[in-house]
A and B are shown apart, each in its own frame.
Chain A
Amino acid sequence: MSEPTVPQSQPPVIKASNLDLTFQTNDGPVHALKGVNLDIGKGEFVSFIGPSGCGKTTFLRCIAALEQPTGGTLTVNGMTPDDARKARAYGYVFQAAGLYPWRTIGGNIRLPLEIMGFSKEEQAKRVKKTLELVDLAGFEKKFPWQLSGGMQQRASIARALAFDAEILLMDEPFGALDEIVRDHLNEQLLALWSRTGKTIGFVTHSIPEAVFLSTKIVVMSPRPGRITDVIDSRLPRDRTLDIRDTQDFMDIAHRVREGLRAGHAYD
Chain B
Amino acid sequence: MMRSVFPVLAVVAVLIAIWYAAAVWLNTPWALDKAKRAEVTLSTSDLIADTWAQDKPKLPAPHQVAIEIWNTTVEKKITSKRSLIYHSWITMSATVLGFALGTALGFALAVGIVYNRVMDMSVMPWVIASQTIPILAIAPMIIVVLNAVGISGLLPKALISMYLSFFPVVVGMVKGLRSPDAMQLDQMRTWNASGGQEFIKLRLPASMPYLFTSMKIAMAASLVGAIVGELPTGAVAGLGARLLAGSYYGQTVQIWSALLMAAALAAVLVGVIGAIQRVTLKRMGLA
Residues of A within 8 A of B (CB): 64-66, 85-86, 88, 90-92, 94-96, 98, 100-104, 111-112, 114-116, 143, 145, 163
Contact = CB atoms under 8 A, between A and B. Distances in A.
B191 A116 contact: yes
A17 B206 CA distance: 40
Contact of A88 (B186, B192, B284): B192
Interface of B: 183-184, 186-193, 197, 201-202, 205-206, 208, 284-286
A115 B191 contact: yes
A96 B183 contact: yes
Q: A-side binding surface: helix, strand, loop or mixed?
A: loop
A56 B284 CA distance: 36
Given A88-B191, A94-B183, A94-B186, A115 B197 contact: yes
A112 B189 CA distance: 11
A66 B285 contact: no
For B186, B192, B197, B286, which residue has the most chain A Cβ atoms within 10 angstroms? B192
A85 B193 CA distance: 10
A140 B205 CA distance: 20
Contact of A98 (B187, B189, B191, B205): B187
Nearest to B189: A66
Given A96-B183, A111-B201, A115-B201, A101 B190 contact: no
B189 A85 contact: yes
Contact of B190 (A64, A95, A96): A64
Contacts of B190: 64, 66, 85, 90-92
A114 B198 CA distance: 12
Contacts of B197: 115
Given A86-B192, A88-B192, A94-B186, 20 more contacts: A64-B190, A65-B189, A66-B190, A91-B190, A92-B190, A98-B184, A98-B187, A101-B286, A102-B205, A102-B284, A102-B285, A103-B285, A111-B191, A112-B191, A114-B201, A115-B191, A115-B193, A116-B191, A116-B192, A163-B191
Contacts of B187: 92, 94, 98
14 contacts: A85-B192, A94-B183, A94-B186, A95-B183, A98-B183, A102-B285, A103-B285, A111-B201, A114-B201, A115-B188, A115-B197, A115-B201, A116-B191, A143-B285
A238 to B, nearest CB: 30
A64 B188 CA distance: 12
Contacts of B284: 102
